[in-house]
A and B are shown apart, each in its own frame.
Chain A
Amino acid sequence: MHPPLSLIFFFLTAGTSIGLYIFMYAIEFLQLFGKGQGLPKEVILKMGILELILIGLGAFGASFHLGHKLRAWKAIKRFRTSWLSREAVFSGAYGVSLLVYLALNQLGANPFFEHFFGILTFVLGVLSGFSTAMIYASNKFVLEWNTSITVIYYLLMYLMLGSTLMAYFSYLYNLPYLGTFIFLSFLFLALGLGFRLAFNIRQFYLKRPTMNEALNLPHNRPIRVIDTGSTTDNYCTEEFYYRKGKEMLSTVIPVAYLLTFVVPLFLVLYAWITGTANTWILGLTYLFVLVGSALERWSFFVEGNHVQNLFYSLYPEEGYRLRKGYMERKETKISLY
């Protein structure tokens, strides 16, 4: 699949915004039960404004992959069936709810309403991330994406972005949660790495359809494309098969793994074990996760193979296999879950 840069930008901004808010509000929420000391109001204001700016930038950036940006508001119409519609609604509602929460928090109004909107923003943020991940995970024609692993590690990456930035802010504003967030960064980085590996390993065991199944021909009949009807590429071959990206993928994936997971894990471990937390280490951890996530998202798109590529013979060839003397017909039924 061709990676849309605006969607990668949305992932980074919305991921940081929602991830940071989740941890920021979690501290405030725990304070209700007498755990921890909460956050100073000015820190909440600074972080809140950053979250608002980021989600705003994300929404603006994501509109660049639309053909008609001014009609984007119409995306609320099919909330009942479309994950993209749900994402648009939840992201928008998250931004508005966050603004209300910040206002109530700063004005020191009724704590019930403050926490009501705090919890609402929290839930909307998680739902927004979940809906975005479901756009990919529910697409049963890109088998690499069509799994619950996509959703889990998508949300874990939001938490990675949030926890590493929160660790940095904990140091910057001298908050008493530095140790907690260094541990949480490590935890989510390790979990993220595990699920990303699972996502990649799963691809080796995918039962892929063949061109014979696409054309509904007997499965043991050799078939090849002679002509695709045009001398140049068309929308389908460009959107669903990114030739240049496929060539670069084997280089980009290891770099993405290194930058997103391995280097930040070492940095966090170093800070944890030696107790030497400083702006450089914690700032670099977040930056590495940020840059790595952009490459990771890019790889995620390029790794996806759309089944329509079968008609152009651009799908990974697996074919039928000879087993114990007979042609084994592969299991090709694709289910949503």
Chain B
Amino acid sequence: MTDAKPGGRAAGKTATGHIDRRACVKALLDSQGDDVLIIAGLAGAKGDVIAAVGDAPRVFAFGGAMGAAASMGLGLALAQPDKRVLVITGDGELLMNVGTLATIAIANPANLGVVCVDNEHYGETGFQRSHTGLGTDLAAMAQGAGIGAVRTVREMAELDEAGDMLRQSNGAAFVLLKVAVDDPPKVRIHWDAAYHKNRFRQALLGQP
């Protein structure tokens, strides 16, 4: 059973999704293989990624600069056409620069997937409700932006198909994970972004 009980700072909050974010992101990342390069957006998404794959060199995780994860994933995907790149980001961060979906759609790299962990709340700032809890559908926006491969996942059983789409799409792909609103334990990594950048490049390119 992977349903999450709202807890911690999220106590009493409700969302339309019911699947557990940590279990969901872990299952999806496990299905993609350990050579996929990952950009993790700030706050909850970063926690989900680090909890799933550890503080690994193939992960670049944000601690700020909200709104930049998706565009950074695009630059990385274009620079590394033979590697697959996944951006894991939250609904709040994606809403901040939602136009990036259009930028990604027209560039349309087949090796880029964007996964939005949508708990319908701004968890980092105290679980205020986000637009996605009030009717905004980021999957519809991704589709409207022109991204051809789009899936919404509401049940764990739907993850396999979404994972297949991420691996096999011949253009950019987008997955919306409708997760429960929960406040899982914080996952802390060192804040130094230059260290993480150099470690990422060393592992990928053989030099910092």
Q: Do A and B come from one complex?
A: no
Taking Cβ atoms with an 8 Å cutoff, the residues of B that contact A are none
